[in-house]
Amino acid sequence: MKKQFAINGMTCNHCVANVEKAINELAGIDKVKINLKKNQGVVKFDEAQVSADQIAAAVTEAGYETEVI
């Protein structure tokens, strides 16, 4: 499964790294690609292990507003 997320609040590559780290700590994540300029991220994951809502919650816990788009 691949989902796209809108991520607000990122201002630099350090923010991108924080978001990537938060997502990659979840089980079932295959690939994370964050685009700072577009304030978006695409996550490929195993939906049997993790949901889009859980991914969004991890990004929110890292300090950034997000929603599935």
**Domain-by-domain residue ranges, the chain?**
2-68
Q: How far apart are CA 32 and CA 42, in angstroms?
A: 6
Which is it for the CA torsion 35, 40, 46, 51, positive or negative? Answer: positive
**CATH architecture, range 2-68:** 2-Layer Sandwich (3.30)
Q: Who contacts 52 (Cβ-Cβ below 8 Å, separation ≥6)? A: 1, 3, 5, 43, 68
* Residues listed for the chain: 69
| pTM given for the model | 0.94
pLDDT in tens, 6-62: 999 999 999 999 999 999 999 999 999 999 999 999 999 999 999 999 999 999 999
